[in-house]
A and B are shown apart, each in its own frame.
Chain A
């Protein structure tokens, strides 16, 4: 039982890592990026190509892939989301949904239906483990991903709170018109925010590939878990996102212990319960939605 809980908490670290970029983008730019999961899978494939074709370890590969993801984020904001936002709040959601379909199918065309993994390229790390008192073993990789999630979440928070650029991004997210009047290039600030969000997506993609397998259509599941973690924890708060990931993962691992089908059912169940409780606490769907936007 304790073992299950510990494994669940560590899995929650992965969900928090993938939710970090999603909730950052939502809280700062008011955009729900439905291509989030597909972009993480794209990053995983990029690391795979570097490892397979050039023998570059995925850890070193991040030095290439993270900047690449940041550039994609910058361009995505400049040429897609920025324009889409001007057409209304719903258009960015449609645009990112379309983008996810393009990415998924491009990956399928390029790499086929085979299931891939980065675990072959990270040496013994994929099965190395640490023994905890009480004879419980935890994977070094899981612990590393959990630590990385905390570093990313706290790092994002510190960046927003204490750096000039973080303040510019917060000011822009609150009132872009006034941000311009105090000397902030609002378009630049949101593009940089998007670049940062996608860099975290690159990390999530690496975690996805190292801890398990992925294929061209894995993005949707990653998006769903990230979305559920963000909603359970309350988007836009550091510890909320981490807690949301842990709650989701605990529900899944405990559910799986009850029945093999329980993994997904328990996860979705907890998500729905939390969602309905939040709506009920807000006093209905309309006030709930108003509070969000």
Chain B
């Protein structure tokens, strides 16, 4: 059968092009890759659990390709469904940074979040409110809000071996003692591909405009990839 997703695909390519052009227009651009693997444990109760491992590498900075590993990260989230569309989660992340040549301090991070997801037609709209405490050489507090839209690229739902697309934007407010608070904005577009009910992969681009209210704003372009396994 012919796949009819031209309109949505055009939107996708427009967004990707916009992110690439915006990113390349910045002088202080850093490009990074961020592969991640998550294992989710679900059951018939309102509780679910997620265990993840990820790593981040910078591949481009100072106007040249200069690869270096940033960190290796392990994470865990415990979530509970609340109401008909909500989910409360608490999580912990540990980043091994010191073991890499350019690393300074390992980081421990606690995360609390509330997510509200509802479908409107074929579009799933999610709002996420997140608080985080980052313990590294200084303690940094973050407040974040993300709105995301996800939709199938073929038909009315995403069946196995079909693609869906996600677009989101997130505001990040960061505070620490003796530092001015900073604001950042993130724009992400990603493809999700369902191999089966249990195995999914995603690929995407994320453009981060960081500290844009401060004197030294900078931008980052992330090449995202992820594997998610549900047990």
Partners in one complex: no
- Interface of B toward A, CB cutoff 8 Å: none
- Interface of A toward B, CB cutoff 8 Å: none
